[in-house]
Amino acid sequence: TRVICHPDKMEVVKPQVAECVAGYAAYAQSLPTTIDIMAPGTNKAAGLHVLQKSLGLSMAECCAIGDSENDLEMLQSVRVACAMGNAVKKTKAVSHFVMPKNTDQPAGVVCLIRSLTAALKATKVEVESTAKEKLRVACFSMGSWGTGVARQVGQSLLHLKRFEEALPVWVPAMETVTAINETGFDERHLPGLRLPRNVHATVDPVDAAKD
């Protein structure tokens, strides 16, 4: 079922839809003019999970791209989340990367597919010694600047084979550590911006720096 309205009326209509379907159905805005109403628990992440199961893949082996609020659950469930350049703010906030718009040449989806293909080819031909010890990075962060650095470094480590993927981050406040590890966000210092999945916070500096 879909509810369609003028874009200028969406901020008024959406709360009304939420109130009407509360406890009975799920809803998500899919277009500037459209709200989708679905069975409880129905979203793109659930559909992707069915596909992954049939292919024998895990969420950690998947990448997704989206532009609307109905993509949020899917983007938050995969290893690498990408937003279109024309995506809404909420979608960009939970994504690791922002691609070109769908009106650009080449468009965001095309750029993503080309990047993934190039990465797979590079991995296939790259010869690395399995015995070669990987380098390890730790981040000692405080405040907005520190969390921002941890976000950028964490994203980079996901693509650098010479380094261990995990990024331990020392944070002095336990409440911030808990928020980062349980939600993937540091709303106090970097509101609305998701941290990479490889970031793990700790209040123990020795733990963060250990080999």
- What's the average model confidence in pLDDT over 107-115? 90
Q: Judge contact between 167 and 198, C-beta under 8 A.
A: yes
More confident residue, 30 or 124: 30
Rounded CA separation 117/111 (Å): 10
Nearest one of 86, 48, 65, 76 to 196, comparing CA atoms: 76
- What's the average model confidence in pLDDT over 83-90? 93
pLDDT bracket for residue 131 (50, 70, 90): very low
pLDDT of residue 139 exceeding 90, the answer is: no
pLDDT bracket for residue 211 (50, 70, 90): low
Rounded CA separation 89/173 (Å): 28
- What's the average model confidence in pLDDT over 127-137? 64
- What's the average model confidence in pLDDT over 146-151? 85
Beta-bridge partner residues of 140: 170
Nearest one of 85, 80, 90, 122 to 102, comparing CA atoms: 85
pLDDT at 2: 87
Rounded CA separation 90/71 (Å): 10
Rounded CA separation 164/171 (Å): 20
- What's the average model confidence in pLDDT over 171-179? 90
- What's the average model confidence in pLDDT over 145-150? 84
pLDDT tens digit sequence for 5-21: 999 999 999 999 999 99
pLDDT at 94: 92
Share of the chain above pLDDT 90, in %: 36
pLDDT tens digit sequence for 48-70: 888 888 888 887 788 999 999 99
Q: Judge contact between 21 and 36, C-beta under 8 A.
A: no
Residues 6 or more apart in contact with residue 26 via CB below 8 angstroms: 37, 38, 39, 40, 41, 42, 43
